[in-house]
Structure 1
């Protein structure tokens, strides 16, 4: 054979591959029937669930929950005012009819049409479990349904159902995803488990499992898949691409295409048999391992120096927070459990249905009083969002979105370039700044933001806005030139006492900043245009660090237990920030430097450090 037998054998011998294969090949009768692989069979299950007269004995529970979910999804907020949902919640739906594969005038087939004559309601569902839109498809479907029902006074709700809330090309469609379907089924089982027959329960349980396999990429499985792909890339690519031949047209797979073209038919058949025996496992490994969005995001996070806790390289929606937002955790309050990174704000990238890269910025499910105050402050500064986002009960409010064309989704560098373009957009920087101002105002317990902020202009990366004000600060505090360093976005400095303490406690155990001293200060220009001052204890030898901490504790300085561990390196003693309205105004920046350094807590900490002599 012209391809590597060793590579295939190594994959087959892989323990990690076997673990994944075992997970994906647990017995499920629905998988035996290939329900998991065909969109039409998912539509059949939905038709069964939606019909109140079917033998699931759910009545109209499923259809009413589906309607309420349509109403509450953030993507549908601008459509909800046109539909009288409350009347549907108390209707009987006893005359509901479900139609499958409805043939249009142009011989296309609508997946599901639900008709409720007593309520003059039609729900049309276009189901895209794995498929993508065809050109003109959605427009044709809604035109056909309107021609059949509008003249009789029916309200028509067109629904675009996908795995992960992909947005339709036609704005008239309501958005729904299979996570919503999963939640409705799980809710029904939770509420009515005792009344559900064993056979129905088993069927619903098996279907839930199929949906979870598609929707839930648990971290352990993802990590194993990445490990397997890294070690067996050649074999996985060859097996996968031999089956999905359309992908071979992409330039990134030119080498694999040449390999496969040189194979005999009998050799391709062997590859196909190996693939079919391990199809779901190989598909999952390939999807995880070859995901360019995730790989580009990892490079993006590294370039931006995001702390590990400030981002997650999710396969579909890699997300992050600005680390400086963590300064305002108490101001925002705790979000609901399970919300992204556990912070009240989140930013994420996604690949849209029309092959664009999109960045989103959202205010999440924090306590309503804080949500309302933040959104009011942002609105007063000109940040646009749906007015319904301020209503009590609303949990998610997008305050910024933007998209960018990606010329080649197979090229990591192109995707990374567009990520940077979206992230560096002046409009996004302006919103970041307005968030910072709003949070500062909230921290000061002020009710309204009165200052009007002009749209931020993109910072010239060659301009050092810290240098002049910091040199003035250094002169004022008699900081010699050998005790500070100024870079584009930060200025670090030492006080004489920090150097003196080196004689008693020694230098750091690893390279730290430019000085390897005991403590350090630095001013930062943050992404949201705040000036921040930080005081930090450095990575001294473990015993010396602990001695310093214990002495400071005696003077009332509080430390977390993790700071006392042998492995601990850095401990932040003080950090405070202030929004700078005009970074070109040297006087404003200098005055804020003085205010931050003169903060009462900072001065008290310096007094405590002086006592370490």
Structure 2
């Protein structure tokens, strides 16, 4: 115990890495001061500004076009438009009007020239009221009866599957990718103040979606050098680890998977737990780029305020052609229709996701029971793995 005491003391005394982490977490960011990351309404205000071609960001309709094009890559059961991605990218949306909180809809975009209405339900942490999405669709169709194209979007941190068959699923992670692309390609032509403002918002999205690579790397370095001290602080300084991880570990043997416990490259936090079935390891290529998994295809559980999600994603394979082939073969050849493009970006594609309600996150047994139902009944984990393994073997991935 004395040795452990010395390790903890050494960890907090003149620890340069810890000081760097503290400095990183306390960097000035106006969005942090305004607590934007904690409030949907403020995220919606920022998105409303970016989506409006008439605003002073001087990007015109660039962000709106890029976001709409990415949204249309997704799949829905009922489509209320005849738009093609090429129509969006080659056309113009400069006449678009953006409304905030119109009839309680977070964001509504209307383009008369394109006979187009886009409605966005933006959910960061809050839950969804019953029939909320249906009500918004009905309201829009009543207000714009002659509009030919209606695109409803369900926007969440991880691109959760929309609980309505007419809504596209989209994620803040995809918005982060779009903004990074815009800054990279157009920074030379942007006003410096606008570029800095967008960079601050990018940092906020990185923290929200846990995509801040510098912060992740710094945390990994600290953990590598002070593993025992950190584990002692967690053991003696907190009541318990998250119920998500406790519930996962109760079912880990049944899952027969590899996760953070065996390979630290699989991401772990109070909100997400990444893993891969051992039976699929050899069939799935490893990644050279950083992701939340060392493998190109992985599962993860994601905890929200009142829901638990199980998601299967294809990650950022550097060989774009190979990635496209893998994705096409999975989507086109799955006989049981387990897989479809739920959400998409340049770095990841969600191909299956299911969710279940959680009444009490403090009750680990309840969370574990709901997790088991989600796995077996809603997601059909064993059957999906069997189908996935067959597809991977037959296509020599």
Secondary structure, in 3 states, of the residue corresponding to 1:142?
A: helix
Which of 230, 244, 247 is 1:296 aligned to? 247
Helix, strand or coil at the partner of 1:145: helix
In the TM superposition, residue 182 of structure 1 has moved relative to its aligned partner by 1.6
Q: Contact (CA 8 Å) 2:63, 2:178: kept in 1 or not?
A: yes
Structure with the greater alpha carbon radius of gyration: 1
Q: Return 5+ residue gaps in structure 1 as ranges.
A: 1-9, 235-288, 446-613
Match of 1:324 among 279, 287, 297: 279
Contact 1:291-1:315 within 8 A present in 2 as well = yes
Any stretches of 5+ residues in structure 2 without a counterpart?
A: 1-7, 224-229
CA contact (8 A) 2:286 2:294 kept: yes
2:42 partner SS: helix
- Correspondence 1:83-98 to 2 at 5 A: 83-85=82-84, 86-98=86-98
The answer on 1:343 being equivalent to 2:295 is: yes
More displaced 10-residue stretch of structure 1: 26-35 or 195-204: 26-35
1:188-267 → structure 2 map (5 Å cutoff)? 188-216=182-210, 218=216, 221=219, 229-233=234-238
- 1:353 and 1:433, CA in 2 relative to 1: closer, same or farther beyond 3 A? same
Work out the CA distance in 2 between the residues paired with 1:215 and 1:69. Answer: 18
Q: Which residue of 2 aligns with 1:384?
A: 337
Structure 1 residues 111 and 302 mapped into 2: Cα distance closer, same or farther (>3 Å)? Answer: same
Count of matched residue positions in the alignment of Structure 1 and Structure 2: 360
TM-score (norm 2): 0.74
Which whole-Å deviations, capped at 9, do the CAs of 1:53-104 have from their partners, x for residues lacking one? 221110110100110110124xx354569431332322222322112221x3
Deviations 1:273-326 (A, max 9, x none): xxxxxxxxxxxxxxxx75211232234336766451395435434232222323
- CA separation of 1:230/1:42 partners in 2, compared to 1, >3 Å: closer, same or farther? same
**1:33-432 paired onto structure 2 within 5 Å:** 33-73=34-74, 76-78=75-77, 82-85=81-84, 86-102=86-102, 104=103, 109-150=104-145, 152-216=146-210, 218=216, 221=219, 229-233=234-238, 290-301=241-252, 306-307=257-258, 308-309=262-263, 312-329=267-284, 337-338=289-290, 340-351=292-303, 355=307, 357-361=308-312, 366-369=322-325, 379=334, 382-385=335-338, 396=349, 398=351, 408-420=360-372, 428-432=381-385
1:191-222 CA-to-partner distances (Å, cap 9, x unmatched) read 11111122112211112122222222636548
**Structure number with higher relative contact order (C-alpha < 8 Å, ≥ 6 residues apart):** 2
Q: Are residues 226 and 406 of structure 1, via their aligned partners in 2, closer, same or farther at CA, if it must alter by over 3 Å? A: farther
CA contact (8 A) 2:152 2:166 kept: yes
Task: Tell me if structure 2 keeps the 8 A contact 1:71–1:80.
Answer: no
Q: Give a deviation string over 1:136-195, Cα, whole Å, max 9, x none.
A: 332332222211102x23422122222222334333222222112222221111111111
d(CA) in 2 for partners of 1:208, 1:306 = 33
TM-score (norm 1): 0.50
Distance in 2 between residues matched to 1:312 and 1:396, nearest whole Å: 17
